[in-house]
A and B are shown apart, each in its own frame.
Chain A
Amino acid sequence: MAMNRRDALKSVALMMGGAMVGANVILTGCAPEDQIVGLDFSPKDIAFLDEIGEAIIPTTDTPGAKATEIGEFMVMMVKDTYNGEQQQTFVDGINYIRKDFKDTTGKDFMDVSVEERTSYLNDLKSKLSESEDIKEAAVIGMLQDLTVLGYFTSEIGATQQLRYYEAPGRYDPCIDYNPGDKAYAI
């Protein structure tokens, strides 16, 4: 049974397959300790994240990430799946992008074209790969990860940009692949 045995096994789509856990250890079901309490994202923040997502995966002949409500998705994932440190990195990074965009271009991120946003984010990405000084830029990797995940698992991404078959019904072990053919959603 090794459905998601990670790391080295990542490429293997096969089959699927510490400390003492004492009875006196009370594991509560309430908010995890290591997370930022009351992490607040305003509708404005979410709209901002929508545009970042759209800049990463834009509308082409199919809808882009914004159409999948990627901002809402990112916020939910950051709240639920990030630990406190990661949440802080995310929040700091978003604030950094907002401010840095204004400082370098003199414009508001929300007022420019998708192409300008994409180009800015790509510059930031390459700056990050060249230097680790801009610690706030670490958010770039998070934004890419969440956008790609949220988009390709969304109904739009899975059914319009990929091929989704709920129940394939058979296994064809060897079929022709032509460049441009879409991959399967799952």
Chain B
Amino acid sequence: MADNSYDAIVVGSGISGGWAAKELTEKGLKVLLLERGQNVEHVKDYKTATQAPWEVPHRGRRTVEMTENHPNLRRDYVLNEQNLDWWAHEKDSPYVEKKPFTWFRGYQVGGRSLLWGRQSYRLGDIDFEANLKEGIAVDWPVRYKDLAPWYSYVEKFAGISGNKDGLDQLPDGDFQPPMPLNCVEKDVAERVKKAFDGKRLVTIGRVANLTQPLEGRVQCQFRNKCWLGCPFGGYFSTQSSTLPAAMKTGNLTLRPWSIVTKLIYDKDTKKATGVEVLDAETNETYEFNSKIVFLCASAFNSTAILMRSATDIWPDGLGSSSGELGHNVMDHHFRTGANGIMEGYEDKYYFGRRPNGVYIPRFRNVNGDQRDYIRGFGYQGAASRSGWSRNVAEMNFGAQLKEALSEPGPWSMGITGFGEILPYHENTIKLSKDVKDKWGLSVLEMNAEIKDNEKKMRVDMMNDAAEMLEAAGLKNVNTFDAGYTFGQGIHEMGTARMGREPKTSVLNGNNQVWDAKNVFVTDGACMTSAAAQNPSLTYMALTARAADFAVNELKKGNL
């Protein structure tokens, strides 16, 4: 084998890329895993993971300099002095907002698998069939039964803890034992069940944090510092899970600082022969060849690579013959819900910092419910007692203040809706004609907005939240809508959707690019619809399934 030749190239080392690397190497392929950013070694490079509060210089507050230098990151909680290096910097990697768009990226080995919220839910047939039934966009080329065994496969390896709730709209999985609800959440769950006749369920979140050890990994230690990297391997990340498995095969080559500028496309064979890489440190370009390529660069960056590829044949890039490349941008809209105070539990507390909360599965437009919008939403939230940071403006200084803040405050509970965004053809990303990044590559221009369906849904998301909390006995229930900017859910989806026809979709039912069958896109770009569930588990399942298909096709000589 020549130096630059591999059986497979995987672009991106996040949740999807890590899975592709693991599956392909375990099936015997020599794999080159390309990552555009720095290397982050498990444990060794988790520099702030065991910092005590007093070792955090500004105790979690933002400096003026951080705020000024990060006009994108500062829009949300992501701007944090403890893991700033793990979020892509807008100075080096800008993007253009035709309409307001928030884009939080993780440019390092492990990508956002280090930073994700870890909520892990299956999609069900209600989701896979919705486009067809409602005449929206195009039909998914897969159904739940196609994906169910792959969900099981990835759940068992990744380690998802959760409760089997027996709901059609949220299929159960192969879970580790669930984390427990605390006393207030348990009470709320019982009261909601009763008040809504069993039609609304408050359950524990299904989360990629271990409640039992797995090979090389210790169960969750309830530190709730996941996003600093976990020295225990307590949650699923590339570093804790898929990368060591891929490394163990001896078939993996990992190359950080490798920006893939484009696929190299052979119009005679109608296949990619490899990729062109720009070394992010030296600015030199290299070519690497392979039999198959998996694009797992995160939804928009996978699509950007397609847009820059085979432009001599298709000016708008590989996959653009469908007219759908870069279209149908999706996310989950959220930041609306309710919260309140729970009385009567002053003599109860908990121990440990649970990195998980409650989940309320979708109950709108299911089981006979019908609203003035389609699709639905789920809620995430938690109950807890406030600590020293609670507002006690009225209290006098002195020993009284010191003692009061040293005891836990009242119990409160809040829930936030996460709603489905429909795949609108006119919600797009495209390559900018004039703005370039640090490496001279055209950056992406975002042009997406939520519409009537989402706006109507948000009304329910807010009011239903208050209705449930009130029914559960919470006091001083407040509703809120903190506003939503597209992308803020950090669940970018679409732009290279799967479908049944090359004329209306970029990928087929096995995640192959219709116009280059040895190119697979298995990250969020492939999503045909968004559902309301957190999507990463679905990327894992689709990636493992596509890898299995790809290796079988290779063996048959079809690729």
Contact = CB atoms under 8 A, between A and B. Distances in A.
A22 B350 CA distance: 48
Contact of A153 (B53, B94, B227, B435): B53
A132 B310 CA distance: 67
Interface string A103-130: 0000000000000001001100100000
A22 B54 contact: no
A172 B348 CA distance: 11
Interface of B: 50, 52-54, 56-65, 68-69, 71-72, 75-77, 80, 90-91, 94-97, 100, 115-119, 179-183, 185-186, 205, 207, 221-224, 226-227, 232, 335, 337, 339, 346-357, 380-382, 384-389, 393, 396-399, 401-403, 405-409, 412-416, 435-438, 443, 478, 480, 482, 490
Contact of A34 (B64, B77, B413): B64
A148 B382 contact: no
Given A81-B58, A81-B61, A2 B77 contact: yes
19 contacts: A1-B490, A14-B416, A15-B117, A18-B100, A19-B97, A21-B94, A29-B65, A81-B63, A122-B396, A122-B397, A149-B61, A149-B389, A166-B50, A171-B350, A174-B183, A174-B350, A177-B408, A179-B407, A183-B407
A173 interface: yes
Contacts of A82: 64
Contacts of A183: 385, 387-388, 405-409
Contacts of A168: 221-223, 351-353
A167 B65 contact: no
Contacts of B380: 2, 14-15
A137 B407 CA distance: 28
Given A11-B339, A177-B346, A158 B64 contact: no
Interface string A20-36: 11111101010111110
Contacts of A5: 76-77, 335, 416, 482
A154 B225 CA distance: 18
A150 interface: yes
B72 A21 contact: yes
A89 interface: no
Contacts of A179: 407
Nearest to B357: A14
**What does DSSP make chain B's interface, helix, strand, loop or mixed?**
loop
Contacts of A31: 65
B387 A184 contact: yes
Interface in A7-63: 7-9, 11-25, 27, 29, 31-35, 55-58, 60
A1 B77 CA distance: 9
A174 B186 contact: yes
Interface residues of A, number: 82
Contacts of B416: 2, 5, 9, 12, 14
Given A29-B69, A56-B397, A177-B346, A11 B480 contact: no
B426 to A, nearest CB: 20
B414 A9 contact: yes
B359 to A, nearest CB: 10
Contact of B401 (A13, A57, A180): A57
- Which of B60, B64, B353 has the largest count of A CB atoms less than 10 A from its CB? B64
Contact of B59 (A3, A16, A33, A150): A150
Given A11-B412, A23-B443, A158-B54, A4 B77 contact: yes
A43 B355 CA distance: 42
Contact of A80 (B64, B75, B90, B397): B64
Given A60-B399, A177-B348, A80 B65 contact: yes
